[in-house]
Structure 1
């Protein structure tokens, strides 16, 4: 948790604003990964 998001698990579970920031970052990273995966799939299956 600390390496990826620069926050401890205790702070994550205690502070709502920190939790929201972390979850929004996770969502953005997930969406970027899905887009990259789709691009690779399209390139492989031409």
Structure 2
């Protein structure tokens, strides 16, 4: 999980847990990626 967090978001999991602002930023990015994926799937479905 640590490696995935570092590669995907450029931060460690420990920093993600410590820093609320960083956590919010990452979660917004994840939500954006999720919505883009759902939209892409809907086009092919």
Q: Taking structure 2 as the reference length, what is the TM-score of the superposition?
A: 0.89
Does 1:28 find its partner at 2:39?
no
Task: Please give the root-mean-square deviation of Cα atoms over the aligned residues, in Å.
Answer: 0.3
Q: How many residues are matched?
A: 41
Partner of 2:12: 8
Q: Relative contact order: is structure 1 or structure 2 higher (C-alpha 8 Å, sep ≥ 6)?
A: 2
Deviation at 1:35, TM superposition (A): 0.1
Structure 2 residues without counterparts, runs of 5 or longer: none
Displaced runs of 4+ in structure 1, greater than 2 A?
Answer: none
Cα deviation code 1:17-41 (max 9, x no counterpart)? 0000000000000000000000011
